[in-house]
Structure 1
Amino acid sequence: MKESLYKRIARELAQQISTGTYPPGSLFPTEMELCEIWQVSRHTMREALRELTEQGLISRRKGAGTRVCEPPTSGVNHPLSHLEDLLLLAKNNLRVIKKIDEIVADIELSQLIDCPPGSRWLHIASIREDAQNPDAPICWTDSYASTDYARLRTFIRDDPHSLISDLIETHYGIKSHEVHQTITAVGVPKKIAKILNVEPDSPGMRIVRRYRDRDGKVFETTISIHPAGRYTCSIVLKSQNSGE
């Protein structure tokens, strides 16, 4: 996934906001000041600022300047409109590995991760920690990747922030062309409730993401369970008819 310049600027500015470089309620640098800092054109910076505005991170008012918005009362707010947006959650929240093994997909799992029953997969179980609240993990994730990528066992431990799909791209040359995402309301399973520090069967959200290459082949699937109140997924929908 090659990230455009304005997207990279927006992502890094978003990280600076989340780490307190630009506190909530403070004045954000002007467009011209940011152009000078980043050495980019006004058009590029304007697009980056538009991204931050759509993500609810800054508020721009004519005559009043640009201010950093107050964060949500709890949890992580994660806007999604491009594949690169998945990088932000990964970069800001540490992955902690709980288990790595090889599994054989039964009928139920094969339907969930879109593979033939009986196929073998590298299974990686992990949590994503919230740096501001380590006792309340953002999610539990079961990742399934081809056993051809066996060296991921080492790569994911050496790089606990990168997405597994990005590590596959870096080390195996398989690029994500599209991601199919399904969101379902679920109860938190008993077997992971204690690790997530919630009651069994308490409200949660399951997100299944299937990463496909340019030929449409699934090369990784992730199944994440988010306890209620710890994660907000904001999706921007735009009209295909720009004239409306």
Structure 2
Amino acid sequence: MESRHAEVTKALIKEITTGLYPIGSSLPGELELAEIYGVSRGTIRTALARIEELGMVSRKKRAGTRVEAVAPRSSDYRSQLSTINELVQYGKDTERTVHAAREIVMDLALAEKTGCQPGTRWLDISTSRKNPEHPDRLLSWSNIYVPAADGELIKSRLKSTDDLVYDLVAQTTGRVVKEVRQSIRAVGVPKELAPLLGTSPEAHALEFVRQYIDQSDSMFEVAVSIHPADRFTYFTVLRRQTE
């Protein structure tokens, strides 16, 4: 269960991003916010500090809390920026198809792979991507998992927008991506996916597991993607850090 300050942080971010508090406006005072959300003044201060760290508000004595931006500033993502931009660019350069969305209960095997708690309820979103230059075959297949409560809020929009799933969750819940944890391993194409990907079972592939962490350090999305080896290259540049 989320802490009260995490819940308030998400609620305030959502109200800022949806325009209830536009840029240049002031948020209600701490005492008023505490009354609105039914929490202590200390909880409000913690929530406002989190939002200030994201660059969305500024706070000054006797001047209150002023809205500065409707999205986190890019400098807050500096250490993770290449990873997040990489995901966004991949989304722009490929065509997504949403095939199905169904609620599931995490079993032990899937929980171990995704890092989710066994027995918890998630929305399982099955998607594929194509390279527009090679529309005759799929580039990858993904199963994207979001908490069932968040899934209910975005389910109706999945097929009507090209927005990435974590963006849809952010727009509806106030969650902000703090970091993305990624693991990559060599696997064989699962038997049930081979016909969809147009390859033979157990053909060489890369499996990506990405965990999306929000501003309260809660995992709110996991994506498990299979990329046949003949259609995907993961390229990185490593530079020596100078003293």
TM-score (norm: length of structure 1): 0.64
The within-5 A match list for 1:17-166 is 81-149=82-150, 150-159=152-161, 161-166=162-167
- C-alpha distance after superposition, 1:121-173 (max 9, x if no partner): 000001011111112211100000011121321222111x3211111112221
SS of residue in 2 equivalent to 1:178? strand
CA contact (8 A) 2:83 2:180 kept: no
Q: Deviations over 1:205-241 (max 9, x none)?
A: 10000000122211000000000121112223344x4
Q: 3-state SS of the aligned residue for 1:190?
A: coil
Residues 123 and 147, structure 2, Cα contact 8 Å, conserved in 1 = yes
User: TM-score normalised to the size of structure 2?
Assistant: 0.64
Shift of 1:183: 0.3
Uncovered stretches (5+) of structure 1, i.e. residues with no partner: 6-79
* Partner of residue 185, structure 2: 184
Which amino acid letter does the alignment assign opposite residue 162 of structure 1? D
User: For the residues of structure 2 that align with 1:165 and 1:155, how far apart are their CA atoms?
Assistant: 13
CA contact (8 A) 1:91 1:162 kept: no
The structure having more radius of gyration, on CA atoms, is: 2
**CA RMSD between the two structures:** 2.1
Letter of the 2:104 counterpart: I
Structure 2 unaligned blocks of 5 or more: 1-70, 76-80
Give, in whole Å, the separation in 2 of the partners of 1:2 and 1:238: 27
Shift of 1:4: 4.8
Aligned residue for 2:196? 195
- Corresponding position of 2:221: 220
Q: Work out the CA distance in 2 between the residues paired with 1:188 and 1:210.
A: 21
Aligned residues: 168
